[in-house]
Amino acid sequence: MREIFHYNDKGDPFDVDAYKLAALFAAENKTIFCRDEDEIYQYQSETGLYSRLTKQQAMNGIEKILMREIIIEGSPTALLKKKTVGFLAGTVDALKGVGCKEGDIFARQKIIHCKNGVLVFEKGEFALKKFSPSFWSRNRIEIDFDAKAKCPRFLNELLLPMLPEHDIEMLQRIAGQMVIGNNICQKILLMIGLAGTGKTTQLQVFGKIIGRNNISALRTDLLAERFEFANYVGKTMLEGRDVSSDYLQHPTSSALKSLCGGDLLGAEIKGVRHHVQFCGSFNIVITSNSRQKAPIDNDLDAWRRRLVIIDFDRPRAPGAKIIPGFADTLVAEEGQGIFAWMVEGATRLLNDIDAGRGFQMNEIQRGRVDRMLDESDSIRIFINRKCERNIAYDISTDELCRAYNDFCDDNSWAPTAQKAFESRAGDLMLQIHRVTRAHDIKRNGKNCRGFRGIKLNHVFETEDEAFQW
């Protein structure tokens, strides 16, 4: 007697137990149901990966097992009648109750899944292990690991001409997080600087090592869109390549902190009735020729903890050879060596973490973050430093804006546009100096907008006369 069938008193099979059939399919095909994502996954022994199984694929597999069991039983008509689309679909639903897993089952901290095995961090170094379903992996790097492989062209032709040693070392640790597939230190890497300095080529190289199937484009202007987060489920890295200067200025850009900070997030996927949950532990890399501003909103320290900035301020040497498709060439020639270099970065990073040092940055690297955040919060800094309470004075909005622009020029900052400045300045004047906007500030015999009881602590020239504010 077959376990999946029900038998009558005469010993003849007359019905199929959908749950037992689902259990048999799950056992033979090593499937699990991820409840948070509402997805069935099947373990692939040859790759060591869990891959998604569509409903139709599951139904086809269940049908094959059912037919095999029916044939063994002698192909009775009563059982053949059970092989309907509705029954198979119901068995897939039963499959979701077999091996159901909750939580972020694919989260990983100290493994790197590659083509020839799984690197496991043990006793301060990575050791290559055989594939196993116990690693709960669905992302891998399609390159064999060889600890002895080198990448001289990658280092000598791409990195060293453009970056100082301390930035290359920091980049290597960030690259280590990329191959782990988990943003352990919750960092956002900004690669900012001159065009033609190799920053996009570096990102292309890292992307080819990690695998495009593990990466999604990061579109900050669409982060509030209904299905945008669905693009990130199952990925390990988000990238914004060659972005504009206002890339981080979109109101929804604050979501980046959650996308790399380990927060539990929800995504709406077409055809799925409930929100799919996933963990925001993505590596985030952004390249741009323009300085960026973070959307500061009483979360300055949160941005300070997350940002890592590498400046590409060394111009390409005169007469330097331009190699079309250089990223492809490097990966084709030195892919294993670049991968080994990234694994070395992961080793250094994890040893720092285990020693309680966290993600290390020197004074120069921290200073870049401070300068970016100061420029991002330039209106608050201006109102704190250059404005003071004095009931004998007042200031018009135009005067305040001109003084702010001068202040930004003195600090080599890009000022905020006037309309945005006026809106933000009104909020900060109330918050810092407890004054509200007035509409009857007298200038040249006319009423204009401004603030009473505010004095600029430097000499300011108007069109008609000089005022000591």
**Structural domains for the chain:** 5-101 (no CATH), 111-369 (3.40.50.300), 377-468 (1.10.10.10)
357 CB-near residues (< 8 Å, 6+ apart): none
Chain centroid to CA 226: 18
Give ∠ CA 344-345-349 in degrees, rounded to 5.
120
Q: What is the average pLDDT value for the chain, to the nearest integer? A: 91
- Please, are residues 209 and 144 in contact by the beta-carbon 8 Å criterion? no
Q: Per-residue confidence at 275, pLDDT binned at 50, 70, 90?
A: confident
**HSE-up (13 A, CA, CB side) for residue 41:** 26
pLDDT > 80? residue 333: yes
pLDDT, position 169: 97
Give ∠ CA 327-333-336 in degrees, rounded to 5.
95
pLDDT > 80? residue 89: yes
- Please, are residues 155 and 325 in contact by the beta-carbon 8 Å criterion? no
Rounded to whole angstroms, the Cα distance separating 466 from 202 reads 53
Tell me the pairing of strands 437-443 and 307-312: unpaired
Rounded to whole angstroms, the Cα distance separating 291 from 191 reads 10
pLDDT > 90? residue 168: yes
pLDDT, position 460: 43
Nearest-10 crossing angle of helices 165-180, 363-376: 80
pLDDT in tens, 422-431: 999 999 999 9
pLDDT in tens, 172-203: 999 999 999 999 999 999 999 989 899 999 99
Nearest-10 crossing angle of helices 418-428, 397-410: 100
Q: Per-residue confidence at 377, pLDDT binned at 50, 70, 90?
A: very high
pTM above 0.75, yes or no: yes
Least confident span in 55-59, 72-76, 302-306, 346-350: 72-76
pLDDT, position 82: 83
Q: Per-residue confidence at 466, pLDDT binned at 50, 70, 90?
A: very low
pLDDT > 60? residue 79: yes
pLDDT > 80? residue 386: yes
**Which residue from 306, 296, 301 is spatially nearest to 183, judged by alpha carbons?**
306
Classify residue 125 by burial, with Cβ atoms within 10 Å: 0-12, 13-18, 19+: middle
Q: Per-residue confidence at 1, pLDDT binned at 50, 70, 90?
A: low
Rounded to whole angstroms, the Cα distance separating 305 from 369 reads 9
**Which residue from 38, 19, 181, 28 is spatially nearest to 101, judged by alpha carbons?**
38
Rounded to whole angstroms, the Cα distance separating 177 from 418 reads 40
Query: Which single residue is written with the structure tokens 């083509």?
Result: 115
Q: Which of 241-245, 300-304, 337-341, 464-468 has the highest mean pLDDT?
A: 337-341
Least confident span in 40-54, 88-102, 146-160: 88-102
pLDDT > 60? residue 72: yes
Chain centroid to CA 273: 25
pLDDT > 90? residue 229: yes
pLDDT, position 109: 74
pLDDT > 90? residue 467: no
pLDDT > 50? residue 464: no
Average pLDDT over residues 326-354: 97
Average pLDDT over residues 47-55: 94
- Please, are residues 323 and 331 in contact by the beta-carbon 8 Å criterion? no
Average pLDDT over residues 378-387: 95
pLDDT > 90? residue 76: no
Rounded to whole angstroms, the Cα distance separating 125 from 176 reads 13
Least confident span in 106-110, 242-246, 253-257, 396-400: 106-110
Chain centroid to CA 207: 13
Average pLDDT over residues 200-216: 96
Q: What are phi and psi of 215, to 5 degrees?
A: -125, 145
pLDDT > 50? residue 39: yes
Q: 307 or 297: which carries more pLDDT confidence? A: 307
End-to-end C-alpha distance for the chain, whole angstroms: 97
Q: Per-residue confidence at 462, pLDDT binned at 50, 70, 90?
A: very low
pLDDT > 70? residue 218: yes
- Please, are residues 141 and 180 in contact by the beta-carbon 8 Å criterion? no
Tokens coding 39: 């997805």
Tell me the pairing of strands 437-443 and 446-456: antiparallel
Q: What are phi and psi of 42, to 5 degrees?
A: -120, 130
Q: Per-residue confidence at 312, pLDDT binned at 50, 70, 90?
A: very high
pLDDT, position 465: 39
Tell me the pairing of strands 276-280 and 263-267: antiparallel
pLDDT > 80? residue 365: yes
Chain centroid to CA 378: 27
